[in-house]
Amino acid sequence: MEEILDLLRENARLSVEDIAAMTKKTPEEVKEIISKLEADGIILKYAAIVNPEKDNENKGKVCAEIEIQVTPQREHGFDAIADRIYRFPQVKSLYLMSGGYDLKVIIEGDSLQEVAFFVSSKLATLDGVRSTKTHFILKTYKENDILYVENERDRREGAMA
């Protein structure tokens, strides 16, 4: 199972036949394993990874990381407030963190003002939110093991005389 998951993580477009050949299983066994992984909620989605710098339609989008300090609710901990936050369509990712803040939210908007308005009017006003700190993402170099920068620069050390 893990071998098939690793192959799909690397390339979700692999055919069942290719996976079968790589794992020395029959195509029927591979189909059965993939179906079980999907049914058990281990595989949630298949998606294309798009370079945001080259996606002309979404090129002007603004992405921000927001650190949120919250007061956990009795009997629900952080889950109740996390449930309210991840339902906003602007929220792309939400993480419970250790350290200086409790939740990390990644959001996307059409402008700096739209993101700022979302943080000030939607996130900061939620019951239990004590503080927010917004960091705008200026450029993505690498994400989830994917490099977004092209390595065209000459990286040789200069010779010193």
Residues 60-109: pLDDT tens digits?
889 999 999 999 888 888 999 999 999 999 999 999 999 999 999 999 99
Whether the Cβ atoms of residue 51 and residue 69 lie closer than 8 Å to each other: no
- Residue 161 confidence (pLDDT) above 60: no
Beta bridge partners, 146, equal 143
Residues 6-31: pLDDT tens digits?
999 989 999 999 999 999 999 999 99
Q: Which letter does DSSP use for residue 159 in this model?
A: P
Q: Are strands 91-96 and 142-143 parallel, antiparallel or unpaired?
A: unpaired
Q: What is the pLDDT of residue 153?
A: 58
In single-letter form, the type of residue at position 76 comes to: H
Closest CA to 97 of 106, 107, 87: 106
Instruction: Name the pLDDT band for 154 (thresholds 50, 70, 90).
Output: low
Burial class of residue 40, CB neighbours in 10 A (0-12, 13-18, 19+) = exposed
CATH number, domain 56-143, options 3.30.9.10, 3.30.70.920, 3.30.460.10, 3.40.50.2000: 3.30.70.920
> Which phi and psi angles does 146 have, rounded to 5°?
-105, 125
